[in-house]
Amino acid sequence: MKCFTKKLLFGILLAAFYIFCCLTPPIFALTTQELEQQIAEEERRMTIIERRAAYYEDLIKKAGEKERGILGQITQYDQKKQKTEQQIKVLELKQAKAQRRIKELNEDIKKTDARIEEIKGYLRERFVAIYKYGGMAEIDLLLTASTAHEAMSTSILLGKIAREDENMIDDLALSREKIEASKKELEEQKALFESQEKKLQGERKRYKAEIEKRNALLGKLRKEKALHEQAARELQQAQQEVGNTIRRLMRQKQELIAKERERNEKPTRVIAYVPVGGRLDWPLRGEVSETFGKRVHPVFKTTTMHTGIDIRAPRGTAVRAAGPGEVLYVGWLRGYGQIIIIDHGRDLSTVYAHLSSTGVDEGQGVSKGQVIGHVGSTGVSTGPHLHFEVRVNGDARDPMKYLQ
């Protein structure tokens, strides 16, 4: 019976030692290599996007005010939005990595708890066996050893088991605490990632709104630009129409004079014209708000030709003939509104546009300084003023070179 008891107790002790030494798997067995590779790849892409965004931002700064238009702003916000989306993507991958690691640690905690309970179970069995067979069981093992070597080996084993009994549960508990600490750190890191993502989502939403706002403004500007370009084309056509009208009327007048000469008839009327080298008078006195020459629109950058000068004056101000001559045309022309054209001889003519009223008739002779109409804002006009032109054979010339 004692031999059986000895073998049973020795077997229990050996089993406990075997469990501790051989059944302890590694705590951090799982890997997240794929997530690490994904994060590295997305961070590389984010670096490329950041460089691209910085390039466009620098390009816009160097280009000056002209390039800081709506299109430049849209490009800038689009780059920022793309950069933010890439940052969100990286954070989502990091969150996934942290979540997976938390899951791994939870599994490790479960395994550690199960291992602690398992070892506690074996220890309970060993303590029950020792209690069952009496407190002298360990001494009995030593006294019943067949040889001194067996007794020494048994003593060493008992001492080792006693030391391991003392440290086993503490070591496992410490491991569990470390796992819990790692889990807490990861959860805090995950919460930080979520907070950063929330902030980035807000930025992405703001950039998207800015892009939509500027796209709407760009659409409006493009529409306005199209209307402005159409108006500019119509104005150019109107300017050509004035020249064509003058040439046509001049031609008709010359044909009439030629027919009168063929019939040896005296001219039906005697008209005084501007003498050779003579200067023209100002049709009215006022501020010249627009000069002759090319004009560039401040917003649309379109170029138009201003074929005369604009003289600002209150509505109803008297407009006078710049020199003696014959009234070629009185009426309306597209863009010019109500208009008077006077022939001053030698292919020289003057144009008076945007009038509110006229006081002369076609074919009528006029003298220098005679009131021919009044300032208005008819046709395409930004307010009351006189648009005054000087034309030679129908082609526009700078009036300032003819006025005295």
CATH number at residue 331: 2.70.70.10
Whole-prediction pTM: 0.49
Residue 32: band (very low, low, confident or very high) from pLDDT cuts 50, 70, 90? low
* 153 or 320, higher pLDDT: 320
Q: How many domains does the chain have?
A: 2
Instruction: Answer yes or no: do 178 and 56 share one domain.
Output: yes
- The boundaries of the domain holding residue 125 are 2-227
Contacts of 400 (CB under 8 A, 6+ apart): 291, 292, 309
Average pLDDT over residues 376-392: 90
Residues 307 and 292: beta-carbon distance below 8 Å: yes
Give the tens place of pLDDT for each residue, 331-365.
888 888 899 999 998 889 999 999 999 999 999 99
Q: Are 76 and 60 in contact (CB under 8 A)?
A: yes
- The whole-number pLDDT of residue 222 equals 67
Question: Long-range contacts of range 237-240, CB-CB < 8 Å, 24 or more positions apart?
Answer: 237/334, 237/335, 238/333, 238/334, 238/335, 238/336, 239/305, 239/307, 239/335, 239/396
- Lowest-pLDDT range of 24-28, 132-136, 248-252, 365-369: 24-28
**Structural domain includes residue 252:** no
311 shares its domain with 170: no
Shared domain for 181 and 302, answered yes or no, is: no
More confident residue, 82 or 340: 340
The model's pLDDT over 123-150, given as tens digits with 9 standing for 90+, comes to 777 667 665 655 545 555 545 556 655 5
**Which range is least confidently modeled, 50-54, 314-318, 387-391?**
50-54
Looking at the fold, whether 113 and 222 belong to one and the same domain comes out as yes
**Is pLDDT at 276 greater than 80 in this prediction?**
no
In a domain, 330, yes or no: yes
